[in-house]
Structure 1
Amino acid sequence: MPYRGGRQALHRLCDSVSGANWRPTRFEDEFTLSRYACCTCHVIPSTTVLLPCSHALCEQCLAGCVVQDGGNVCPLDAEPFCEDECQRWQLPARKKQNLKAHCWNEADGCQFVGPIEAVLVHYDRECAFHAVQCTNCEQRLLQTDIATHYISGCSKNASCARDAQSNRHDGSPTDCETNVLLDKFSTLERKINEVLEVCRASNSARSQDISHALGAFENTLQRRMEGVEANISTMITRQLTTGLQELKAMTMVPCSDHLSSIQSQMNKLVEQSRQHYASQIQEIGSVLRDSQIKVKEEVNIRLQEIVSLLRESESDVKKNVKSQFEFVRGMRDCVGDLKDHFAAPVHTREENRGSAEQITLSRMLYTKIRSSEWGGAGPAAASCRPYRQSRDP
């Protein structure tokens, strides 16, 4: 197959997907290759060492940079370096496995591109561009075309060989000789393409060196920019701090004086309020004490009046009880006299009706009833009136 110009250099993976390690592979991601690929062996390791001269090496190539005097020399530009000056970059395994790569049969016409694991599966199971070499003419052909080649090409070459021997005296080239020359031309073209591939790989390595140099310059420029930014930030911070201190010194003294005057005014107001409210509290206390004294005096007067009323009521009650007691005793005597009077025989009462002694007794009883306090109101007095009226002459 004719070679396609402008192809990138081939690289090799290590410590990655089994079956894809150490196979020359063309990757798509130029940035990752320029950052992590070894500039010497074009291997993409898990750990890449960046030299001070901006060349990147793998661990194995770094171990081969030691010279006899114990120092280290870059294998590309012979610049001495120390391992302490080198930087180590780690390429994550997931990122390494996700690198986009071309199928290994790209030179034979396959256009498949994908992650390295997908390329491995495609190459083993799906790719239809596997090439083989004809054992008769040593021509590289697709495996799907080898049978057709034998039928249409090599079989004619065998018959043409006999015709060439019989017709060699003519001196004119036959079709068989022409086919042989074309096959040799194809073989020569393939070898030329391989040489061109090597040259392009070398040019790609130089391009990678330039990319690494540019990357190192960019890193150096970035570090210097960071240093400049840090210096500017430090200077601005220092100036701001100085300005703040000056502003603080300018505003602190007036503010302190103003705060002191405000504090003294507040203290005066508090003291005045305290004195004012203290006098009011004293006035309220004196009023309360006077009110308490007046209330006590009023209570004492009311108590004395109540006591005198109670005493008078007690005296009245005693008099009433005494009069009631005398009334009951008089009633008792009257009832006894009435019983004695009504208990006598009728003829005796009629005989003795006009006697002066009974009349005197009735008058005495009536006088007792009238002399008592309740004599005219009680039922006993009412019951005695008819008896008195009947007995009066």
Structure 2
Amino acid sequence: MSSDLQLVGFSEALDWRSMEFVDLNSLMSCSLCSVVPKVKVVLDCCHALCELCYENVLQSERQCPLDGEGFEESQTGGIVLTTTQIGKQKVRCCNFKEGCDFVGAVEDMKQHFFSECEFHAVICKRCNLKVLRKDIVEHCKEQCQSRGYSSDRSPPDVVNAAFEMGKKLDASLEAITDRLCAIEGQLNRHAEHIGAAIGSVVVDTVALKKALEQQERLTDHGDFGTVNGKLFAIVRQIDEIASRINISKYVATGVTLADGECTAEGVISSESGNARVAKDGDTGSVQGLHGGDKCEAEDVTSKGKDIAKVIPETSEWVSSIKKLLGEMQPVIRLGNNMFYYHIQYFDDIEKEALAKKEVYRHSDVFVAFGYSVELGLCVAEYNGVMYLGVLLYICQSSRDSLLKWPFTLPYTVILVHPTDETKNIEYRTDVLERIHSYGYCFSRPNATGNRGYGCRKFCKLQDAMKEGFIYYNTVTVGVRFL
């Protein structure tokens, strides 16, 4: 029985070449991806998986993908192949599909393939057919001429087809240009509307601040002061968001109307908890709010309604910015080769890890030296002990065709101490030393991205907490290139 497989991790020259083995034991290859790796894991159902496929199965339902049988990690076994063992296996020449009938040990086939084999194929530049290299001269003299091809000019039908294609491309480009101009006009109009809406927000926010300051001067009562304090807190929140999105150069230049519909009207009405206290506890304070200063309060409420009618889209936009500022886990870049990933709500990650035994968190994709990458935090249990790990993932991007592959930049992943950088824990990866065993981590990625590589056992979770790496329910990891 023969099988068409690929070596992984044994030979720089033969790795990832398609080879037909003769009578290879089925446990020597991965039952899923058909590679022959150095290390395999054998399940209870007697199917063997490479390390990559096994890790993916562990992260899902822990069932064999081929027969659906469940398994426990403790019930699996391992098989390790040496280079000497694989070198003795019988294979056909890599050119067997081209007609070579050589059969021998892997090492003998390697010598034959690179030094002796006469069945290497090339592409004829005149007819684009695959031809054996030893037959290319005869092919060009006889077969190419018999097909009627000329070496000094293209056939008329090819020229005509190219001309027609050119006309279609011209028409398509003209239509695309018109469409882009229309889109640009729409974007400019939207920008003008947003600018006008932001101006209205700024003006009405300043008016709201002035009204609140006037109310504060009219009364010093405790409960009414609580209501004013709530309103001032909202205005301060508005100011902070406005300053972060650079709406204006002036003081107090922002508002959010979509954050729980908490407008000035909402705080003054019975929907505000503080307003209810004032209503129940001190009638005089409420009368002061709706009496002597009633006009100003109604003016503030009216302005809030007008803003909500005029700029609902801007309100949602400002609210979304607030949410991003408070909840987004950013990747922060320092210098040209240093990136940090700050993870919040670590207690939720810890609880999830205790339940699932393994949890991952990934940063947004960022660009380093032209490559799209992301940082990952891993919290996993090994032999009953929880560990923190840091990984780097190579991601697919539109620039990949312009980059050098595989990825070979050395990098260092870091578990960052929040107050004392001398306590940082680092793990350096020299990619060129690892690429033969972990080439799938650094090859050009597909749409799903590559498997991450770094250190999965950076330190014990208990030690990280004891040493202060978990700071105010957050943790920071980083990567330094070169």
Tell me the TM-score range normalised by the shorter chain.
0.3 to 0.5
Identify the structure with the greater helix proportion: 1
Q: Which has the higher strand share?
A: 2
